[in-house]
Each structure stands twice: as structure tokens, then as C-alpha cells.
Amino acid sequence: MVSARMSDPKIWKTCVGAMVNLIEEAAFKFTPAGVKMKAMDPSHVALVDFELPAAAFSEYVVKQPVTLGINLTEMDKILSRAKADDELILELDEKMNRLAIVFKGASTRRLSLPLIDVREAELQEPRIQFTATAEILAGIIQDGLKDAELISDNVRFELNDDGFFITAEGDRGSTELRLCKGDKGLLNLSVKERARAMFNIKYLTDMTKAAGAADVMKISLGTNLPIQLDYPIAGGVGKLRFLLAPRVESE
Amino acid sequence: MVSARMSDPKIWKTCVGAMVNLIEEAAFKFTPAGVKMKAMDPSHVALVDFELPAAAFSEYVVKQPVTLGINLTEMDKILSRAKADDELILELDEKMNRLAIVFKGASTRRLSLPLIDVREAELQEPRIQFTATAEILAGIIQDGLKDAELISDNVRFELNDDGFFITAEGDRGSTELRLCKGDKGLLNLSVKERARAMFNIKYLTDMTKAAGAADVMKISLGTNLPIQLDYPIAGGVGKLRFLLAPRVESE
Amino acid sequence: MVSARMSDPKIWKTCVGAMVNLIEEAAFKFTPAGVKMKAMDPSHVALVDFELPAAAFSEYVVKQPVTLGINLTEMDKILSRAKADDELILELDEKMNRLAIVFKGASTRRLSLPLIDVREAELQEPRIQFTATAEILAGIIQDGLKDAELISDNVRFELNDDGFFITAEGDRGSTELRLCKGDKGLLNLSVKERARAMFNIKYLTDMTKAAGAADVMKISLGTNLPIQLDYPIAGGVGKLRFLLAPRVESE
């Protein structure tokens, strides 16, 4: 039995909205402790790591661990039908082999989607020795990516003692975003060693676009290492993490 | 002579906006008592029945009955140019064989469209023995249709002693909207006998999309009978009614 | 050296936004007195005349006159990235042969675009004996053009003692906008002689669409003469003028 209830549909909606651009199918593990999901994108460049503990739900009943295979595109379409005031309920319909997503508001709407078989890869999250981290308003990151998109497919992220930098270079010009120590959008900066690496803009855009402009994201970087992006989920009790492999810089 | 004036362009705009998705050409009969129009869609599945009495206009001058053939697509485009504060005037230009639609606001804008020949069918509105009726916020109906659209082309409407139900089934899942007695969106429920029938979603969407979410629509149903939808027009003095034939349920 | 600073990015953005639909490349002359640009559209039907004196900038440093060739499409894309609260800085990067457009706000974003070679035509602005002028809310002109667009490619502008008129005729009907003396949208009317001429709607739409609905534009007309449109720029200290050749009316 699975029955999980949230007073705000936004948490689940944001998480699925952030995943759906990278992976199409996901195996959500519902256990008495909470929900987990880990997956790589088809080209194995990006990894999603999601956890929502039972405490993040207003009501959470899972007797036996169960893994639910979900088509994220379909789930995302259903979640787009949520209204801001709706209560969200996830319910396993074992007989029909479906997951029901219930929106309780002006009416009660029950949208069910078929469960699918999803091969669960045993993913070991890589241990990376990041040399710098920062907490940054998502809107700032989104702006830097949109700027860079005008002229290139790739973007360089850098954290150093001065702050956070997004730069891009192309035939049609260059872009640079500087967010310096003291700027309001930079909430925390911790630099052991200057870190910079280049990434594909489309992946970073997909990973960040579900965030609200005022959400605080945590960035972890190391020179020519993968970037780690952490969403602020359910007031800190959940985890939505993305890892993205760097592009080799030809310099 | 035809000259009809309304202080709010929205009434006429909503009516034409609701019709235009179903029928392309319409014959509006202007008589001293008011305006009438009745038409079926090209595939003869849906019927539109429209009446706006002289009292719905702030000024209404029609000496002799006259039938004006109108291309609704063109009229709808012209009405889309209305501003909320504009006064709307309809004026027959006999010399040019055109209908002038005048918007009086910051400026006076006169948009005229050519009259066309429209064959008037003698439509007898069918007498249907509905077994249940309800008054429902249009936004609720629109939500149920949008949900159902995710997974099917058809939708089942049901009225019973518990309330109003919209359900759909498909390979990609199922949807169900429940609006129960006591819910705010259900303003009136009168059930002689449980009534349910299946309809094409696209037709129902076209019929309801011109309504505001807070408008109250009246639904009349009978098992496997056509559905009748009544718009609230001009504070109740007018009539905008749709009839839609049911789909045969294969069960 | 070129370094020009404006507290409001909107002025430069509106000007470029109005030009970009007509001309793709422009040669901006930066002199100690200010910035100038004059160009014709590729089909030589329309002329743009732009001037922004040093006083329109909060800071303006140009030692030597220099002409910067700009791809307006690229510049417009960059300016679309400005936020309302950003400060805008234009800076010549001589080493890289680029113009940097800097947005200072929550972060500092520097978007640079390559300078290009633009042939400077010696354009003599024609001396036209307009017989009527008016100051009109841009929103009114935009409305009249959008109305006319429904039925024709051309539109007639007229100024006479009664006011301002936009009319169009086509197989699909006719449109007429009347803005009479005394109407709020007509701020000034000066008619030596009734003036009317026909113009291409697309050009007029391109010339006026960057204006806000409440901006006051000045129209100068003469019968079968070009139309002159003046934007209100930087509180009157700048100049953004369009001239458009008339269509020959076949009557």
C-alpha cells in the first residue's frame, strides 16, 4: 500500500519538472522511510538523485517497500493540471497497476497513470573532491545561462575568491556574468581552490529551469570536474541533486 | 434598418466566440423583438441555439425583420479587436451590403464585414426527456475536460444523487472529476434518474471555452441522450444553448 | 574610447527595438556631442533618423568620433536580456573590436557583440512640405493598424480639421478609426491643409510597435507625401524619426 499526501503540490511538481527534461522514465522507490529515485540521462552525462523523506508529507503510509516505474513525461503532464490550492495525493492502485495522482480542491480530480517496467541500474554516486561551493539565487544562474545561450552551446562556470562567474565565447560575441562577494544573490561562498569547468548549456538549463528565481541553489565545483547542483526541496528535508559531467576545454 | 447598441462588448463577443468553433457561417435574424440564430455544425453532431431579446441591448432599432448572413470567423476576428471599455454597436449598411461593428472608446472604430448568403435550414430543436440537470461553474467543467484530454478523445458525463462526474479511460491512464453535493462549484442538482452519456471532448471543449471560469453553466443530461449546455447570457435575458449528440458507448 | 551609461535601459532598447524591424545593420556615430544613426531600409521605402545627445546619458565619455557598425538583430537580442532595474552601459572594446553592453543589476552582465563593417550612405533627409501634424497616443495608432491589418495590406492616414483618420478597404470589408478633436488620444492637431496618403501597414506597424500605448507620437502628413513619425525619446532630448514613402493610391 502506498498513500502519500502533500498540502502543496508544488514540491512534487518542481521535482518532476526538473527531472523530466533529462530522463524519460524513472523508478521511484517508496519505502516506509520515504521516496527515492536515482537515474542517469540516456547519454550518461547527467545524474539525478532525489529523496523525499516521509516527514516531507502531511500523511505518508507505505507498509512494504515498492518500486514504481513511471513515465515522467506523462506524470509531468498530469502535474501540470494541478492548481496552486490543490492538495496532492499519490495512491498506488495495485489492482489496475496504476499510480493515481489526486488533486483535492474545488473538485476532487483523480488522474491515474499506468506503471511501467523500468530497469533499475545500481548507480553509485561518484565521490568528487569539489574545491569550491556557493549558494546562489536560481534566477541569477538562469540569467547567465540565457545570456550565454545567445552566442554558444557551452558555458564556463567559475568560483574563486572574488565570487561566481559564468562566461561564454563564440563567433557572435561573448557573455560574462559576475556575481561578487557582497552581492545579494550570492549567499555563501566557500573556496578552497579556484574551480572552473565548462558545461553544455542545454543540460544546465534543463536542470535549473524548474527552480523559482528566488530559490537558493547550491553549486559545487572543481576544475574540470562535474558540477553538482542542489535544489532547496521541502524546506531542506528533501534532496534533489544533479551532477553533470564537464566538457573538455580546448585551450 | 438595424442598429443595436450594447455598453459591454463582452456579451456578443462571448456568444460569437462560443459559436465560431462549431459553425463557420450563421444567419442572424434581427426582428423588432430581438436577434435569433440557430444552426448545426457541418457534421450535424452539435446544434447552437442563440437568442438575444431587444431588452438585452441599451438601444435597439429594427423596423423590419431581416436575416444577416455572417462569416463567424471574420466576425470573431473583428470582435477580438474590442477593448473591455468599448461600447459595441451593430449597424446594417444596406447600401454596401455590410454589417458594421462599431467600437466606441478612446476612438471610434468602425469595422465592416460583407454579408454573405447563408442557407437557412428549418431546424426543429429536438424535445429531449432529460432526467437530470445541474448548474456548475464553467471552470470545473473546463478542468475536467482538460484532464480527460490528456488520455482520450471521449469523456463520460454523469449526474446522479451524489453529484457530477467527468470520467475518461485510455491506454495512457484514466481521469475522474468528482463534484459532490455541497461542493461550492455545484450550484443546483436535480436528478430524477441517474444520467450518463459519452461525448467527444473536442466538441465539449469548443462549446465551453468561451465561458469565464466563474460563469455558471446549466447541464441537462439523460442516459445516452444528447447533452444540453446553457450559457448564462446577459443576466439571464438571453439564451445561448448547445446540444451535442452522444457517442455510443462500447461496453 | 567610448563609454556611455544610462540608468534606464528602456530608452536604448526601445530605439533599437523600433529600428530592428526595418534595418538589419546600422552605423552608429559616437561623437563627443552624442550618438547619431541614419539609415534606409533595404527597399529604400523607409528612413530612420536617430540622435541621442550626450545629455541623455548619465555618464558619457567619447574622446574621438568613432563609427560603430552594428548588427541590430544581434543587439536587439542582447537588449532583450535587460531587466527593468538594470543600469545600461555601452563600452567599446577596441582590442577585441567589440561593443560591450553591460547590465548592472543583481549581477553584472557583460554581453559583447562583434563590430561589423557597415557602408555609410550619405543620406540627405528630404525636406518635405507637410501640411498637417498631430500628436497622438501610440496605442490609438497601433489599434487602427491592427484593425486595418484584418482586411488589407495598405492603410490610409488622414489629418483634417475634424481630427485623425485611419481607413482601410478590402474584399473582406472595411475599417475606419476616427479620432476627433476633443478626444483624449489626440493631443495636438495643426492642419494647414487636409492631408491624406496611403501606406503599407507592415512598415507602419514595424515603426510603431516598440512604442508604449501611452507614448505620444508626432505624425506629419501631406497629401500623397511621405509620413514622418517622431518618437518621444529621453524626455524630448533625443530624436527617433521615421519617414515612410506613400503608396500610390489607385482611385
Q: Which chains touch A (3 or more CB pairs under 8 A)?
A: B, C
Q: What is the pLDDT of residues A93-104, one digit of tens each?
A: 999 999 999 999
| pLDDT attached to residue A145 | 98
> On the CB side of C242, how many CA atoms lie within 13 Å of its CA?
31
Cα-Cα-Cα-Cα dihedral sign, residues C70, C76, C82, C83: positive
Nearest CA in chain B to A115: B173
Task: Tell me: pLDDT of B251 over 70.
Answer: no
User: C15 vs A83, B44, C12, C212, C238, CA distance in Å?
Assistant: 40, 54, 5, 12, 10
Q: Give yes or no for residue C37 having a pLDDT over 60.
A: yes
Q: What is the pLDDT of residues A140-186, one digit of tens each?
A: 999 999 999 999 999 999 999 999 999 999 999 999 999 999 999 99
* C119–chain B Cβ distance below 8 A for any pair: no
Burial zone of B24 (CB within 10 Å; 0-12 exposed, 13-18 middle, 19+ buried):
middle
Confirm if C148 and C199 have CB atoms less than 8 A apart: no
Q: Are B132 and B190 in contact (CB under 8 A)?
A: yes
Cell numbers at A28, concatenated: 521511484
Alpha helices in chain A (DSSP H): 10-19, 72-79, 138-149, 201-208
What's the gap between Cα C66 and its chain centre?
23
Q: Residue A11: pLDDT above 80?
A: yes
Neighbours of chain C (3+ CB pairs under 8 A): A, B
Please report which confidence band the pLDDT of residue C1 belongs to, taking 50, 70 and 90 as the band edges: confident
pLDDT at A250: 58
DSSP code per residue over B184-219: TTEEEEEESS-EEEEEEHHHHHHHHTTS-TT-EEEE
DSSP H/E element including C3: strand C2-6
Measured at the alpha carbon of residue B242, what is the angle toward residues B102 and B98, in degrees to the nearest 5?
25
Nearest Cα of chain B lies from the Cα of C157 at a distance, in angstroms, of 14
What average pLDDT does the segment A16-27 reach?
95
Mean pLDDT on A31-40: 96
What pLDDT was estimated at residue C90?
Answer: 98
* Residue A249 pLDDT: 62
* C-beta atoms of C143 and B81 within 8 A: yes
Distance, C-alpha C56 to centroid of its chain: 17
Chain A residue with minimum CA distance to C110:
A176
For A193, the enclosing helix (H) or strand (E) is: none
Q: Is B114 on the interface with C (CB under 8 A)?
A: yes
**Per-residue pLDDT at B121 exceeds 90:** no
Angle at C147 between CA C145 and CA C149, to 5 degrees: 65
Residue B153: name the closest of B88, B200, B187, B110 by CA: B200
**Residue extents of the structural domains in chain A:** 2-114, 132-244
Q: What CATH architecture is A2-114?
A: Box (3.70)
Within 8 A of C173 by CB-CB distance, chain B residues are: 74, 78, 98, 111-114
Percent of chain A with pLDDT over 90: 91
A154-160 and A227-231: which strand pairing?
A: unpaired
Name which of B81, B98, B114 is nearest C147 (Cβ-Cβ).
Answer: B81
Chain C residues whose CB is inside 8 A of the A171 CB are 114
Can you give the pTM of this predicted structure? 0.92
| B249 band by pLDDT with thresholds 50, 70 and 90 | low
SS3 C225: coil
* CA nearest neighbour of A167 among A158, B86, C44, C99: A158
Rounded Cα distance between B226 and B130, Å, is 9
Q: Where are the beta strands (DSSP E) in B19-162?
A: 25-31, 34-40, 46-53, 59-62, 66-71, 87-93, 98-104, 108-114, 132-137, 154-160
Length in residues, chain B: 251
pLDDT in tens, C168-209: 999 999 999 999 999 999 999 999 999 999 999 999 999 999
Taking the Cβ of residue C181 and every Cβ of chain B, the question of whether any pair is shorter than 8 Å is answered with no
Predicted pLDDT at B250: 58
Q: Which residues contact B31 (CB under 8 A, 6 or more apart)?
A: B62, B65
- Strand ranges for chain A from DSSP E: 2-6, 25-31, 34-40, 46-53, 59-62, 66-71, 87-93, 98-104, 108-114, 132-137, 154-160, 163-170, 173-180, 186-191, 195-200, 216-221, 227-231, 239-244
- 3-class DSSP state of A128: coil
Amino acid at B23: I
Residue pair C99/C93 in contact (Cβ under 8 Å)? The answer is yes
**Shortest Cα–Cα distance, C186 to chain B (Å):** 9
| pLDDT for the residue numbered C123 | 80
Position A1 scores a pLDDT of 86
Q: Do B109 and C144 touch (CB under 8 A)?
A: yes
Asked whether residue A47 carries a pLDDT value surpassing 90, the answer given is yes
Convert the pLDDT of each residue in B206-224 to its tens digit. Answer: 999 999 999 999 999 999 9
Among A residues 121-150, those touching chain C with beta carbons less than 8 Å apart: 137, 139-140, 143-144, 146-147, 150
Does any CB of chain B come closer than 8 Å to the CB of residue C95? no
Share of chain A above pLDDT 70, in %: 99
CB contact under 8 A, B106 and C175: no
Interface test with B, best of A73, A80, A107, A112 (most B CBs within 10 A): A107
CATH of domain A132-244: 3.70.10.10
Please give the pLDDT value at position A23: 95
The cell numbers describing B3, all together, are 442598429
Contact C177 B98 (CB under 8 A): no
Cross-chain residue pair C176–B78, CB shorter than 8 Å: no
Instruction: Give residue B126's pLDDT band: very low, low, confident or very high (50, 70, 90).
Output: confident
3-state secondary structure of C208: helix
pLDDT at C169: 96
Of B96, B109, B113, the CB nearest to C177: B109
**Residues A72-91, buried b or exposed e (16+ Cβ, 10 A)?**
bebbbbbbebbeeebbbbbb
Please name the residue of chain B whose CA is at the shortest distance from the CA of residue C146: B81
In this structure, of A2-6, A121-125, B48-52, B114-118, the range with the lowest mean pLDDT score is A121-125
Gap from B55 CA to chain C (nearest CA, Å):
28
Q: Strand, helix or coil at A143? A: helix
C-alpha span between B171 and B152 (Å, rounded)? 8
Cα A221 to Cα A135, A199, A229, B144, C107: the distances in Å are 12, 11, 9, 46, 20
Taking Cα atoms as reference points, which of B136, B143, B146, B137 lies closest to residue B214?
Answer: B137
Question: pLDDT tens digits, residue range A175-211?
Answer: 999 999 999 999 999 999 999 999 999 999 999 999 9
Using pLDDT thresholds of 50, 70 and 90, give the confidence band for residue C74: very high
For chain B, the first-to-last Cα distance in angstroms comes to 56
pLDDT for C99 beyond 90: yes
Interface test with B, best of C172, C181, C186, C187 (most B CBs within 10 A): C172
**What are A208-236's pLDDT values in tens digits?**
999 999 999 999 999 999 999 999 888 88
Cα pseudo-dihedral C135, C140, C143, C147, rounded to 10? -80
Q: What is the mean pLDDT of residues B229-237?
A: 89
Strands across the sheet containing A239-244:
A66-71, A25-31, A34-40, A46-53, A239-244, A227-231, A216-221, A132-137, A186-191
C116 contact A CB<8A = no
Residue count of chain C, please give it. 251
- pLDDT tens for each residue of C38-52: 999 999 999 999 999
What the block records as the C-alpha cell of A7 is 498540502
Rounded Cα distance between B183 and B163, Å, is: 9
Contacts of A122 by beta carbon, 8 Å cutoff, 6+ apart: none
Nearest to A180 by CA among A171, A191, A192, A169: A191
CA-based angle A90:A96:A101, to the nearest 5?
Answer: 20
